[in-house]
Each structure stands twice: as C-alpha cells, then as structure tokens.
C-alpha cells in the first residue's frame, strides 16, 4: 500500500508511504489519499492530517516514471487529471485537512500541501515548483497556487524553479506554523485538538462557504453567504454555542 490510514484520537492520519521515492505521487497515491479522505468523513473523524513517511519529504511531486497508462496517451491524460479531482475533493471535504509537512514539498507535492486547509511545517523543509528546470510547467497545481500564493511570488517561483524555505511560506501567509522537527508532532496535535473541540457541523459549513464564495462576484458572494448564515443559525449547534457562551460553560455539540 502506498497510502497508510489510521485513526489517532480525533484525527484520521493519512501517510504517503513511499519514503524511498521521496513520497512521490503516482495514481495509487492519488487514489489512496482520495479513498482515505472519504473514509475519514464516513467514520466521522474530526480532522484529517496528511503527511509523508520519513523526515526528508512530505511529497517530492509526481513520479515521472510511474504515470504511464496501459491504454496509451489518452489514458495517461486522464491519470494526470485525477490529481485535479483530488484537489476538488479536498476543498469539498467537510473536515479540516492539516498538512504535516515533515520534509520538502515540491512540484505536485507543493500543490498537495496547498490543497490542505492548514499547514504545519518542520523548519528544515523546502517548498517550490522546480518543473521549469526540466522543461515542464506546474499546470495542474497552478489553480491551487493562484488562490493561495501572492501573484508575483507565485510567478517568480514557477518561472525560476527556485526552492524557498517554509519560513518564506509563513511570511507570505500560505504556511500557518513553522517549528523545529522535534516539535512537529506536538504542534500538529495542538492544532488538531483545537479544531476537534469545535462543532464539526459548523466548521464544515464554514469551510464549504469559504471555498465556494472565493470565486464569486461580491454581490453573489454576499447573497450566498447570507443564505449560509441562515443555515448555520437554524442548527442546534449554533443555539447550543450561544447558550453555552451566555451561561459561561463549555458547549456540548450535537452535530445537528
């Protein structure tokens, strides 16, 4: 198996298990992550944590030797397109997805990192889009990069192929936390505990609305968000949250 799955506390931990290949992406990895996310939602985990095996690479990008399809060039096209389906699934997933960046996140691995909702990275990790150095371009992950990385920063990374530190990513706002390698798990666990303490229903509504609204015109966005606010206010958890706040106690979420 190229992708491992386990429940640890409130989190579904999903690990790309190809350390010998620097956790490179191939069709089995894409489908394994997709299946794991669907399983996590079905098992009602509170958070998904995505990481790579070992400490050298979160994911080094596409496995250039492992993307061939038995049914020829047309088949290869649809194999490559599956990564886009995965990115869409990650954005639509009702659970928050945290990238535990244990090492370098390059090319498609950088896109996979950005497709997660939150990013916690070990300080030794580097990120980047080196495709141009070998005559390629990060076409599929451009859709994610454009939404998460400032325009000039993104173009410089893609046009030069240079790697940058996760500290730079933190500076530009697409990495949430950078910590020492020995602190990575504790930092991820702290974030998971914080996320898991919230109503999963409300967090799921909020995540969905965040991504749905970002590409809308302002008038359409406000109308859509007004509708989502009405949905939220009609939930038992909204009532419970406000009641608990007034009564100065911890809320007891119903997930309804």
Does a structural domain hold residue 254? no
**Are 76 and 143 within one domain?**
yes
- What's the pLDDT score for residue 31? 96
Q: pTM higher than 0.75 for the full model? A: yes
Query: Average of pLDDT values for 218-245?
Result: 96
Does a structural domain hold residue 255? no
**Are 226 and 180 within one domain?**
no
Confidence label for 105 from pLDDT (cuts 50, 70 and 90) = very high
Does a structural domain hold residue 24? yes
What total number of domains does the chain contain?
A: 2
**Are 92 and 213 within one domain?**
no
| Alpha-carbon dihedral angle through residues 222, 224, 230, 232, given to the nearest 10 degrees | -100
d(CA 42, CA 150): 35
Confidence label for 63 from pLDDT (cuts 50, 70 and 90) = confident
**Are 189 and 137 within one domain?**
yes
- What's the pLDDT score for residue 98? 98
**Are 216 and 234 within one domain?**
yes
**Are 235 and 148 within one domain?**
no
Confidence label for 68 from pLDDT (cuts 50, 70 and 90) = low
**Integer distance in angstroms from the first to the last C-alpha of the chain?**
36
**Are 61 and 95 within one domain?**
yes
Does a structural domain hold residue 132? yes
Is the torsion defined by CA of 86, 87, 88, 91 positive or negative? positive
Could you report the per-residue pLDDT of 181-218, keeping only the tens digit for each? 999 999 999 999 999 999 999 999 999 999 999 999 99
- What's the pLDDT score for residue 36? 98
For tokens 């506390």, name the residue. Answer: 9
Using the 3D structure, point to which of 196, 211, 227 is the last residue of a domain: 196
- What's the pLDDT score for residue 69? 56
**Are 16 and 121 within one domain?**
yes
The percentage of residues in the chain with a pLDDT greater than 70, rounded to a whole number, is 96
**Are 122 and 219 within one domain?**
no
Q: In this structure, what CATH number is given to the domain that contains residue 51?
A: 3.90.226.10
Domain hosting residue 237, numbered range: 200-247
User: Quick one: tokens of 157?
Assistant: 């990374």
Q: Closest Cα partner for 234 from 192, 191, 205, 211?
A: 205
Contact (CB, 8 A) for 43 and 7: yes
């Amino acid at each position: 198996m190229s992708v491992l799955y386990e429940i640890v506390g409130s989190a579904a931990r999903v690990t790309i298990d190809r350390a010998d290949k620097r956790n490179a992406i191939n069709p089995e990895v894409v489908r394994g992550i997709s299946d794991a996310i669907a399983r996590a939602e079905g098992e009602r985990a509170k958070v998904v944590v995505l990481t790579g095996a070992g400490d050298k690479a979160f994911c080094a990008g596409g496995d250039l030797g492992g993307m061939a399809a038995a049914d020829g060039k047309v088949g290869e096209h649809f194999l490559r397109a599956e990564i886009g389906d995965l990115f869409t699934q990650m954005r639509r997933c009702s659970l928050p997805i945290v990238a535990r960046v244990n090492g370098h996140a390059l090319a498609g691995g950088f896109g996979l990192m950005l497709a997660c909702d939150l990013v916690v990275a070990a300080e030794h990790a580097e990120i980047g889009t080196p495709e141009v150095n070998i005559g390629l371009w990060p076409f599929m992950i451009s859709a994610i990069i454009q939404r998460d990385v400032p325009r000039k920063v993104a173009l410089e990374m893609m046009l030069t192929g240079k790697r940058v530190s996760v500290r730079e990513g933190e500076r530009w706002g697409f990495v949430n936390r950078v910590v020492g390698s020995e602190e990575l798990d504790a930092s991820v666990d702290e974030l998971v505990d914080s996320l898991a303490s919230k109503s999963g229903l409300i967090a799921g509504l909020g995540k969905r609305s965040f991504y749905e609204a970002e590409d809308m015109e302002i008038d359409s966005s406000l109308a859509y968000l007004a509708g989502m606010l009405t949905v939220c206010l009609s939930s038992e958890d909204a009532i419970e949250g406000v009641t608990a706040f007034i009564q100065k106690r911890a809320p007891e979420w119903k997930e309804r």
